[in-house]
Amino acid sequence: MLGRKKTEDICKDIFRRAKSDPAEVLLFFEDQSLTRFANNYIHQNVAERNVTLILRLLRGKRVGLATTNRFDAEGLDRLVERARANAEVSPEDPDYPGLPEPADYPAVDGFDQETADYSPQDRAKAVGAVCRLTVEKGLNGSGLFSTGTSEIVVGNTQGVFGYHVGT
């Protein structure tokens, strides 16, 4: 996981690069693992880690979007440049209300450490129990068992910063 502090720093870094342009950042981090089974046997274990960063930048009533998964200086510079260029060629939206102001957003406890710590061996053990039960009942079991963590961040140049971590 990236953590609240690092994601907040990433947002601030992007806003500095956006200079005087109002901007909004959406950041999604996922660390997911999956065990598949068919015919009462485990046949696949996969893991994926992905980060997606979306920037919405405003130039007056023009909105430009850009996406990246790079967090280095060059990647962030390119992100802002692309969003700004997209805004420049976008038509004005006379009804666009602008970015939201800060408000009180209730925190939701969606994180479970035991789930976050679930290993491939833990998933294999649980799937193994399912497979044994299906064999005992004369059935053919297949399916999947997935665990993972995610972080969702929303921040903007108006002072909004929301962070959620879940499993």
Model confidence pLDDT, tens digit, residues 82-118: 999 999 999 999 999 999 999 998 889 999 999 999 9
Q: What pLDDT does 105 receive?
A: 86
Mean pLDDT of the 66-86 span: 97
Residue 43 contacts residue 36 (beta carbons within 8 Å): yes
Q: Compute the 3-state secondary structure of the chain and give helix, strand, coil in percent, each to the nearest 5.
A: 30, 40, 30
Residue 22 contacts residue 156 (beta carbons within 8 Å): yes
Output the pTM of the full model.
0.87
In 60-160, beta strands by DSSP E: 62-68, 143-156
The owner of tokens 């969003």 is: 83
Tokens describing residue 58? 């405003």
